[in-house]
Each structure stands twice: as C-alpha cells, then as structure tokens.
C-alpha cells in the first residue's frame, strides 16, 4: 500500500518541488493549500511533470472546522509536511498579527489532528532565520538562537518551540524541523519555480525579473558589510536539493530511525556566496549583464550566515548536489517560461 503524505502549502515554491520528489519516490500526495501565494495551474504543471495528478484541496488551514473536516475525509495519512505559512519578511514587520495568527494557528490545528488521528509524523518548514545574526559561522543545529530579525523569523522560532514542547509532552508525537537556508532555482523542466506575488523581496527572483526587463534595475542592498567584497553572504541551495531533503527526512520518520521524537537539521550547502558573487554567476551562466545599483542596507538583514550540514549529511544521508551554475541557469529558464 503506497503511503499517503499530506503536503500543506504544496502548491507553493518549495511545496511543489517537494511534491514532485515525493511522487517520484512512490508516495501518494494530498496537497492542502489556500492558493494565497500560488494558483491551481501549478497543480496542472505538477501533473505534467509527474504523469499523475496529486490530490488537491483548496482550504484555509487556519479554519478549525475546515481542518477537522479535511482529516475526517482523509483517513490513514502517514505523515504531514507543513509548508503553509506566510513568509515575506518585510510584510511580517508591517502585519505582525497576520503572521502570528496564520503561521502559529495553522501549526497548532495540525498538531491537534496529528494527536487525534495518531498520525506517525510531521515535518516542519523552518528557516535559518531562527538563528538571527550568529556570532560564529558556520551555524550548527546547536547554535543558540539570537532574537529573530522579524515577526516572520519569530514565528519560525515559536513554531519550533511548539513542536519541541509538544514532543516532550507526548512520546507518540514524532517531528522533524528542517531549517532552510536560501532556496533558489527551479525544476529542470522549467514548468514550476518561484512565483513571487507582486514585487519580489528575494534576491534571485528580482535578478531574473530585471534580466527579463520586468524590473528596470536591481538594487544591491549594501556593500559596506564586513565581508570580502562588502556585500552580504548567504548559503544558497537549489530548491530541488531542498525538496530531496524532505524525502530523506520522511524516510527517517517512517522507518523509525529518529534518535529522539523531535529533531532538527540545517538544510544548506555549507558554502557561502556574496550578493555580488551570485550576480556574477548569474551573468556568466546566462551571458546577461544586469543593470544594477548599490543602495543602502535593507532593515532587518543580517550580514552573513551559512550552514554546517554535517548532521543532515550523516543522519539523513542527504547532501546538496547542485551548484550555483545550475541554480542560476534553472532560475533564468523558469523566468523565460513565465515572462
Ligand atoms: C538575500 C540577500 C539581501 C533583494 C529571506 C528569509 C528566509 C527565506 C529567504 C523564506 C540579502 C540581498 C535581496 C534585492 C539585494 N524566506 N538583496 N537586493 O533575506 O537572506 O532570507 O528570504 O523562506 O527565511 O529570511 O533572502 O533573497 O531576500 O536576500 O541586495 O533586491 O540579497 O540584502 O543580503 P534573505 P533575500
């Protein structure tokens, strides 16, 4: 019997790429998504890639009655991968209550269903933003959290605390949090990728939209950081590598390989790149010259972060394989498709 995985936010950027990898690994997927940051065409594209259509439920996961009904109709769910959350750092500063309510209530309602229906496990979409600006680099999973730079980051710190406390109180609850570094790029088919709503806040979609002439100019937010070229450093990871990390974490959960019932892993490449370096890679791989201007720093940005991925490599048997060239090539191929 094929195992059934509920993927909340499965029509989103990381959720759609993970759904493809889950289906390729032989799982049946049910996507639950409110389409606030996606559209159902993405499900059509997933069907094109996978050859079969994942089950899809349009649902507000902050609506308790709707969530209860969903789990009453879909019995024998073997695990949940919970992506559904608002994730725009700047928006979270302007609308904190929206972020706390949506990002925390959806998790709490899901955990109530996990307990009620004795669902074997849940994987939580966390973020390197939980670390704030670390004192020492690379960050390990035991790096102490600094105050998060935004309400978005705080909802990820609180989400992990909710999972930790729930697992401490209930040995039958099994959870894994994956702390993403910076996901970029798109599926090699160029049928799915990042679909930012409105003006992109993230670097790579802004780069591809500038290259496509949708944006006039790319602004580099600060070149006065204490880094080799003055621009900020991040750990950029291909979204397909990130998707595969979820399949590896799911296997650990379902095969009972966890060493404790709440675990958390850094999912990055372990390499850091500056904004200028990433821009140069994009220009080189795609033979494009970008119109850019250096401006002041963006409020809330940290100077540098990148991952120590030893734990995920050893415990999940997972390692990022795709390089920055494929990240930049696939990002541009995707942009050209959706232009
Ligand atoms: C990367 C670098 C910017 C745009 C955030 C969240 C993280 C995850 C990814 C959700 C920074 C610079 C950016 C631009 C620029 N979110 N930049 N010009 O802020 O590292 O991470 O998004 O999953 O949780 O914290 O990503 O892509 O916004 O910025 O110079 O137009 O690019 O200053 O140094 P960030 P980002």
Rounded-to-integer distance, Cα 23 and Cα 52, Å: 9
Residue 298 half-sphere exposure, CB side, CA atoms within 13 Å? Answer: 17
Instruction: Name the closest-CA residue to atom 34, ligand 1.
Output: 232
pTM of the complete model beyond 0.85: yes
Tell me which residues of the chain have a pLDDT lower than 50: none
Do 248 and 288 contact (CB within 8 A), yes or no? Answer: no
- C-beta of residue 200 within 8 angstroms of C-beta of residue 219: no
- Ligand 1: which residue has its CA nearest to atom 21? 182
Q: In angstroms, rounded to a whole number, what is the distance separating the alpha carbons of residues 43 and 195?
A: 13
For ligand 1, atom 33, which residue shows the shortest CA distance?
A: 221
Active site residues: 152
What pLDDT shows up at residue 191? 97
* The pLDDT of residue 300: 84
- Ligand 1: which of 15, 125, 152, 182 to mutate, most ligand atoms within 8 Å of CB? 182
Q: Token digits for 321?
A: 């394989």
201 lines ligand 1 (CB under 6 A): yes
Nearest residue by C-alpha to atom 17 in ligand 1: 203
Ligand 1 near 91 CB (within 6 A): no
Q: Is 221 in the pocket of ligand 1 (CB under 6 A)?
A: yes
How far apart are the CA of 204 and the centre of ligand 1, in A?
9
Whether 302 and 296 have beta carbons less than 8 Å apart is answered as no
The residue with tokens 């999973």 is: 141
Q: What length does the chain have?
A: 339
Query: Cβ(123)–Cβ(250) under 8 Å?
Result: yes
Looking at residue 74, its pLDDT comes to 96
**pLDDT tens digits, residue range 112-149?**
999 999 999 999 999 999 999 999 999 999 999 999 98
pLDDT at 98: 97
DSSP 3-state helix, strand, coil percentages of the chain (rounded to 5)? 40, 15, 40
Q: What pLDDT, on the 0 to 100 scale, is given for residue 339?
A: 56
pLDDT reported for residue 149: 85
Contact 242 CB / ligand 1 (< 6 Å): no
Compute CA distances 147 → 124, 130, 264, 338, whole Å: 20, 8, 19, 37
257 lines ligand 1 (CB under 6 A): no
CA distance 191 to 194: 10
Tell me how far the alpha carbon of residue 192 lies from the centroid of ligand 1, in angstroms. Answer: 21
**Can you spell out the DSSP letters for 92-138?**
HHH-HHHHHHHHHHHHHHHHHHHHHTT-S-EEEEEEGGGG-S-SSSS
pLDDT of residue 299: 85
Residue from 224, 290, 298, 299 whose mutation best tests the ligand 1 pocket (most atoms within 8 A of CB) = 298
277 within ligand 1 shell (Cβ under 6 A): no
SS3 317: coil
Rounded distance between C-alpha atoms, residue 211 and residue 229, angstroms = 23
């Amino acid at each position: 019997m094929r195992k059934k995985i509920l993927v909340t936010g499965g029509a989103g950027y990381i959720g759609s790429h993970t759904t493809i990898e889950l289906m390729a690994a032989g799982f049946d997927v049910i996507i639950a998504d409110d389409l606030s940051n996606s559209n159902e065409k993405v499900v059509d594209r997933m069907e094109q890639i996978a050859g079969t259509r994942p089950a899809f439920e349009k649902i507000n996961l902050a609506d308790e009655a709707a969530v209860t009904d969903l789990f009453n109709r879909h019995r024998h769910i073997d695990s949940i991968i919970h992506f559904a959350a608002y994730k725009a750092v700047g928006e979270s500063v302007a609308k904190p209550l929206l972020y706390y309510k949506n990002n925390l209530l959806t998790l709490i309602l899901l955990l109530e269903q996990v307990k009620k229906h004795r669902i074997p496990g849940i994987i939580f979409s966390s973020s390197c933003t939980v670390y704030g600006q670390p004192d020492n680099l690379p960050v390990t999973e035991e790096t102490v959290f600094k105050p998060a730079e935004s309400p978005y980051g705080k909802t990820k710190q609180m989400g992990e605390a909710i999972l930790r406390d729930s697992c401490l109180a209930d040995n039958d609850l099994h959870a894994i949090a994956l702390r993403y570094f910076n996901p970029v790029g798109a599926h090699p088919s160029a049928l799915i990728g990042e679909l930012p709503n409105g003006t992109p806040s993230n670097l790579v979609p802004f780069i591809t939209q500038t290259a496509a002439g949708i944006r006039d100019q790319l602004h580099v937010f600060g070149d006065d950081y204490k880094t080799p070229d003055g621009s900020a450093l991040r750990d950029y990871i291909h979204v397909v590598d990130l998707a595969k990390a979820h399949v590896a974490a799911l296997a650990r959960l379902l095969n009972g390989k966890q060493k404790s019932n709440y675990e958390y892993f850094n999912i990055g490449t372990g390499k850091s790149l500056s904004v200028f370096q990433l821009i140069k890679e994009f220009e080189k791989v795609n033979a494009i010259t970008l119109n850019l201007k250096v401006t002041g720093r963006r409020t809330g940005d940290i100077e540098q972060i990148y991952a120590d991925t030893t734990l995920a490599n050893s415990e999940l048997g997972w390692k990022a394989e795709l390089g920055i060239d494929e990240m930049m090539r696939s990002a541009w191929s995707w942009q050209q498709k959706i232009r």
